[in-house]
Amino acid sequence: VLNRIRLWLPVVVAVAANSPFWAGRNTGFASWRTVVSGRWPVSGPSPYFDGLADHERRVQQLLSCGVITDLGQIYWQARLSSRGTTVEVRCPDVQLRADEAVMITGIVRALVATAIMDGGAPVQPCPPELLQAMNWNAALHGLGGSLVDPGGRLRSAGDVLSQLMDRITPALLEAGDSREVAALMHRLLQEGTAADRQRRAFADGDMRAVTDMIIAETTAD
């Protein structure tokens, strides 16, 4: 599952972008949190693993070298949970609206279900430097520019989101999530990400206007 979803997580970063400001300044990034989190020693897109034994060996090597002291300090965008048989996806920014968090949860669950349904099909290869560039580009632009699709092609954000939906729609239908996620995705394309809305609020006022907008959206019914 980790190997199959890693190529789609930059798209999730773009969809969830909600941290354009840092210390009261516009960073130029839609998801500055993604950049800041990259300062940790074990962070960013998860590596490709040859299997569970390879994963466990490499994690143990990270622990043995002493740079990290426990599994909680592995900050890959997706990692195996140490508390159960599940996958933790950690790349999205916190959302302003509860239903946006629901949309992202539906997307992630469908990506995981699709990875499981893919079974023994070959995993699409991706050089680590390309995946890192895809992630950086998604953090920079959000949905306000072009994204790199899992095939390594620079395309419009709308086209890449369409690719994502084509991939996960069977899993969304299986879970009963299709209508909800599709409707919220349509609204997202119309209104922009939370980062876009923060920037519009700032353009119409100042950081106080941004704070007011965040409070209003977070506390709305």
**Residue 119 pLDDT grade (very low, low, confident, very high; cuts 50, 70, 90):** confident
Other C-beta atoms lying within 10 Å of the C-beta of residue 187: 14
Beta strand 21-22 with 146-148 is unpaired
Percent helix, strand and coil across the chain, each to the nearest 5: 55, 10, 35
Amino acid found at 200: R
Class level of CATH domain 2-219: alpha beta
Q: For the segment 187-216, what is each residue's pLDDT rounded down to a tens digit?
A: 999 999 999 999 999 999 999 999 999 999
Share of the chain above pLDDT 90, in %: 94
Distance (Å, rounded) from C-alpha 100 to C-alpha 190? 14
Token couple for 86:
């599940």
Share of the chain above pLDDT 70, in %: 100
Given a contact cutoff of 8 angstroms between Cβ atoms, the answer to whether 150 and 7 are in contact is yes
Intra-chain end-to-end CA distance of the chain, in Å: 35
Q: For the segment 166-195, what is each residue's pLDDT rounded down to a tens digit?
A: 999 999 999 999 999 999 999 999 999 999
Q: For the segment 129-161, what is each residue's pLDDT rounded down to a tens digit?
A: 999 999 999 999 999 999 999 999 999 999 999
Choice between 118 and 11, residue whose per-residue pLDDT is larger:
11
CA 20 to chain centre: 15
Domain range list for the chain? 2-219
Mean pLDDT within 50-65: 95
Considering only CA atoms, which of 194, 95, 179, 100 is closest in space to residue 143?
194
